[in-house]
Structure 1
Amino acid sequence: MRLSRRSARVLATAGTLILLLSGCARMLDGTPVSIFADPFRVGGLQAVDGPTGLRPDAPPPDREVKGTDGGRIDQLAAQSVSDLEAFWTTTYPNTFDGDFKPASSLLSWDPGQRKGTFCRNRTFLLINAAYCYLDNTIGWDRRLLLPALRNAYGDMAITMVLAHEYGHAIARTAGITKRRQTPTLVAEQQADCLAGVYLRWVAHGDSPRFTLSTGDGLNGVLAAMLALRDPLLNPGETVGNNEHGSAFERISAFQFGFTEGADSCRSIDAKEIEQRRGELPIQLQQNETGEVPVSEDSVRVVVEAMNILFTPAKPPQLSFDAATASCTDARPSRPASYCPATNTITVDLPGLQTMGTPSKDAKLATLSGDNTAYSVLVSRYMQAVQIEHGGLVLDNAAAALRTACLTGVATTKLSQGVTTSNGGTIALTAGDLDEAVAGLLTNGLAAGDINGESVPAGFSRIDAYRTGVLGDFDRCLQRFP
């Protein structure tokens, strides 16, 4: 968030998570298909926890890896590519013109060793996984990048990375990506989309090698994608040179493919991404960190901004007395709760401050920041708006996703900034959407019902939030009546 006053700007430093990895959501017209709005389904699949990773009875890999040390990382990578090729061998001709063309070779390297090349580049200090357009090869760093991802998010993080890299190969063969014409940003999100197509096949139970639960398993895949987002752009930095996309954008593209199939990946181009971005900020402004420390004053400013944006007849009251707060028709959902009986939002300020503290781990920690907290606060305000709308049930799973959706609507409304009564302005900044997505994935509170209960799949929470970011109030009520 950005909070400016007449005489001063309230800022705080933020930790930025950067990973060296190269590598949607759109408005859906009409009435949504019921299986995609079902709170207990993920793109039509039942949302369940369960086994995730390499099957104990998986067949041996079909592909050899050059330069391998024979270790677990390379074994998982070889199995992943073998599985991807089994999938695309069947799926490619049913979706695209022509024949499927497998990767020419696979290469593993240790970035600590001075010898070795990949795609005409030295592999010494190359901490990466990539697809090479020059010779249709796929390579990866087996010592640093893939082990770090696996340790943080499990075996399927490796499969996800290679599904993305193989997505580049598929997009090139199909003519979706044209090497010298397609911007990097577009090519990367096309590959994210195609990775989603494959991983749905795994989640459906069709892979002979891997399993992926639609609950915690898919959450791990999405968390890895959070880690692989672009760092925030500072003033003076150029947008678009080697841009891959924010976590919000990349997870959106992945969800395109997972939910809608390979045909949806064709529609990702520069125009589509520009339309999807709209007025959402992608670059920090001068003297801006994007972080507003959570305080009683900042909470009051956010609530006042919501009053201005939504003009309720009876604006909710704000209380910071969480210790003695009681409510006759809802359970508390700290650090922010809404009570319909009293029309009061109660904030546990220390808890909200903890939630809004930027992550300082520069490795693979889940992203967090001020909007992780403010999105929860806004979600409680949007419950008050739903009460005033009338006729809406607020204590079930559909209500949880409706709240996430409306929180997305409110987030987009902040992109232009809101001037409050003291002359200050509060506005969305670059990185805020990613911080909200991180919270939706880890704690789910911004996608909670009136009692703080959420749905099991982070995928569904993020999908609902994205629907609101890219839609409007009526769209949320249509999808989650």
Structure 2
Amino acid sequence: MNRRRWTGAAMATAFLATACTTTMQGQAVSVFDDPFSVAGMPATDGPTGLRDDASDPSRVVENTDDGEADELARQAISDIEEYWAVAYAEAFDGQFEPVDALISWDANGFDGMFCDTDTYGLINAGFCHDDNTIGWDRGELLPALQRAHGDMGATMVLAHEYGHAIEYQAGLLDDDTPTLVAEQQADCLAGSYMRWVAEGSSPRFTLSTGEGLNNVLAAVIAFRDPLLNVDDPEVGVDEHGSAFERLSAFQFGFTDGAQACKSIDLREIGQRRGDLPVLLPEDQTGELPVTEESVRAIVDAMGIVFAPQNPPTLSFESTDCADARQSPPASYCPATNTISVDLAELEAMGAQPDPEDAGSLATGDNTAYSVLVSRYMQAIQQERGGVPLDNAEAALRTACLTGVATTKMTKDITTPDGNTIALTAGDVDEAVSGILTNGLAASDVNGESVPSGFSRIDAFRVGVLGDQERCFKRFP
């Protein structure tokens, strides 16, 4: 199928039956002064999803079964169009024009067509440029998204697809626009819509800036590209971007609005990506088993990169700490300058997800190692002095410095024992997944973090795109 005719939602394979030492000067979303805010909004929990008193939908759906999934999609598209009816003219020239039709199908059935394509087995959603329509699979895709990430997870997919329609209408795309750019612009445009919902402007949906937004971010992670080796024949084909990249694009839109999406192009994406690896070496998985040897190697590598005058001691025993609570699987005690590791728990944290679990995120070895690295970053803060280690600013500073350390590991680091530590493709996504779900790599010395996964990921990206001084200045 010609890529330019139909832009689909390329999700992680769990949902589909088919499927840096360089300092980067990328565009980073600001983390505002209040660590308990989300892009300037209070971080709060509350209702998320379709309102009980939702306005009636304004659109009809072709080939519908009048079921729950189609009703949710109909409400979502109606809401997205209500947003763009106002927001389009504020960001782009001209006036907004809705898509011509909405088409539903069941991927388990044999009587559907979308964009001149048989929909049997098509577990996807998409925008068809040829006839200006948006379609989705009501049989598998939307129910799976709703189960894994709630109403707003499914709505996020449709907001992304509508983003493609906006791209064409606004002239952001042409036949030469790479898929990578088109997809991240659409992520950004979806983010601007989600901000409108979170602000309470939607007559149909609500979105809390705590767990509600966290679930939307988890849905964005599910859209990441699959990990490929350098010799894989799919390399370079319809690249959409890593979870880290797509989350960044979404956050640009959420924080700065639709106008920010116009700045996303290959150059901007390249600046954000810098030297972060995107492909695995031939015949490698990128997974380093969590063992005592590997933990020692990671700690040694941090010592080489950051060269503290008084390196922290590593212990595999649980010890009392006079000035901090334990936060297993890895804890830092300022009083003794010791990193304590519960190896069994760290190993469990670094396990890869069940490939049959549609709601799984990009977990793996670096979900665990990023927590270990974050504890070393607390030791770096302790040695520097002058900053607290037990408050919200310390939690976000730790996330930021963990991002700095992550970037430094894009170049091979050889330890005194002869081990070589280096970041591989997928590791950043594994760190981001952990920061979203458990928050430990973005916590203070007591294991406490801020409630917003959005803010935690934001702080991590500030470090990936910056350096130590930027982290200390941003989170004093």
TM-score (normalised: structure 2): 0.94
2:105 matched residue in structure 1: 109
Structure 1 position 326 matched with structure 2 position 320? yes
Structure 1 position 168 matched with structure 2 position 157? no
Give 1:235 deviation, angstroms. Answer: 2.6
2:332 matched residue in structure 1: 338
Asked if 2 retains the 8 angstrom alpha-carbon contact of 1:234 and 1:285, the reply is yes
Structure 1 position 257 matched with structure 2 position 258? no
Query: Of 386, 411, 419, which aligns to 1:391?
Result: 386
In structure 1, distance between residues paired with 2:183 and 2:261: 11
Structure 1 position 302 matched with structure 2 position 292? no
Asked if 2 retains the 8 angstrom alpha-carbon contact of 1:17 and 1:364, the reply is no
Aligned residue for 1:304, secondary structure, equals helix
In the alignment, structure 2 segments of 5+ residues that lack a partner are: 1-11
1:313 matched residue in structure 2: 309
- What is the correspondence of 1:82-481 to structure 2 with a 5 Å cutoff? 82-178=78-174, 180-237=175-232, 238-322=234-318, 325-362=319-356, 363-481=358-476
In structure 1, distance between residues paired with 2:260 and 2:71: 31
In structure 1, distance between residues paired with 2:69 and 2:246: 24
2:67 matched residue in structure 1: 71
Give 1:27 deviation, angstroms. Answer: 4.1
Give 1:403 deviation, angstroms. Answer: 0.2
The number of residues matched between the two structures is 459
In structure 2, distance between residues paired with 1:467 and 1:70: 45
In structure 2, distance between residues paired with 1:130 and 1:37: 38
Q: Go from structure 1 to structure 2 and tell me whether the alpha carbon gap of 1:152 and 1:329 turns closer, same or farther (over 3 Å shift).
A: same
Asked if 2 retains the 8 angstrom alpha-carbon contact of 1:18 and 1:231, the reply is no
Asked if 1 retains the 8 angstrom alpha-carbon contact of 2:62 and 2:103, the reply is yes
In structure 1, distance between residues paired with 2:360 and 2:275: 29
Which stretches of structure 1, 4 residues or more, deviate above 6 A after TM superposition?
Answer: none
Asked if 2 retains the 8 angstrom alpha-carbon contact of 1:279 and 1:415, the reply is yes
Query: Of 38, 41, 47, which aligns to 1:42?
Result: 38
Give 1:96 deviation, angstroms. Answer: 0.4
In structure 2, distance between residues paired with 1:17 and 1:368: 14
Aligned residue for 1:416, secondary structure, equals coil
Residue type of the alignment partner of 1:218 = L
Give 1:26 deviation, angstroms. Answer: 6.9
Give 1:99 deviation, angstroms. Answer: 1.4
In structure 2, distance between residues paired with 1:435 and 1:193: 21
Asked if 1 retains the 8 angstrom alpha-carbon contact of 2:27 and 2:268, the reply is no
In structure 1, distance between residues paired with 2:25 and 2:429: 17
Asked if 1 retains the 8 angstrom alpha-carbon contact of 2:15 and 2:144, the reply is no
In structure 2, distance between residues paired with 1:150 and 1:123: 21
Give 1:239 deviation, angstroms. Answer: 3.5
Structure 1 position 59 matched with structure 2 position 55? yes
Calculate percent identity across the aligned residue pairs. 63
Give 1:121 deviation, angstroms. Answer: 0.8
In structure 1, distance between residues paired with 2:326 and 2:103: 53
Asked if 1 retains the 8 angstrom alpha-carbon contact of 2:400 and 2:460, the reply is yes
Asked if 2 retains the 8 angstrom alpha-carbon contact of 1:230 and 1:245, the reply is yes
Aligned residue for 1:36, secondary structure, equals coil
Aligned residue for 2:32, secondary structure, equals helix
Residue by residue over 1:416-457, the C-alpha shift from the partner in whole angstroms, topping out at 9 and shown as x without a partner, is 120111222110000001111110111000000011100001
Asked if 1 retains the 8 angstrom alpha-carbon contact of 2:145 and 2:153, the reply is yes
2:7 matched residue in structure 1: none
In the alignment, structure 1 segments of 5+ residues that lack a partner are: 1-15
Greater Cα offset, 231-240 or 144-153: 231-240
In structure 1, distance between residues paired with 2:63 and 2:369: 48
Q: Go from structure 1 to structure 2 and tell me whether the alpha carbon gap of 1:22 and 1:190 turns closer, same or farther (over 3 Å shift).
A: farther
Root-mean-square deviation (CA), in Å?
Answer: 1.7
Residue by residue over 1:100-147, the C-alpha shift from the partner in whole angstroms, topping out at 9 and shown as x without a partner, is 111110000011111221111111111100011111110000010110
Q: Go from structure 1 to structure 2 and tell me whether the alpha carbon gap of 1:244 and 1:359 turns closer, same or farther (over 3 Å shift).
A: same
Give 1:384 deviation, angstroms. Answer: 0.2
In structure 1, distance between residues paired with 2:110 and 2:223: 26
Highest RCO, 1 vs 2 (Cα 8 Å, sep ≥ 6):
1
In structure 1, distance between residues paired with 2:419 and 2:89: 57
Give 1:19 deviation, angstroms. Answer: 3.4
Asked if 2 retains the 8 angstrom alpha-carbon contact of 1:229 and 1:245, the reply is yes
Asked if 1 retains the 8 angstrom alpha-carbon contact of 2:27 and 2:272, the reply is no
Give 1:364 deviation, angstroms. Answer: 2.4
Aligned residue for 1:107, secondary structure, equals strand
Asked if 2 retains the 8 angstrom alpha-carbon contact of 1:22 and 1:128, the reply is no
Asked if 2 retains the 8 angstrom alpha-carbon contact of 1:81 and 1:162, the reply is yes
Give 1:318 deviation, angstroms. Answer: 0.2
In structure 2, distance between residues paired with 1:273 and 1:21: 29
TM-score (normalised: structure 1): 0.93
2:9 matched residue in structure 1: none
Residue type of the alignment partner of 2:331 = S
Residue by residue over 1:285-336, the C-alpha shift from the partner in whole angstroms, topping out at 9 and shown as x without a partner, is 02310101101000000000000000000000000002xx010011111110
Residue type of the alignment partner of 1:403 = T
In structure 2, distance between residues paired with 1:316 and 1:156: 43
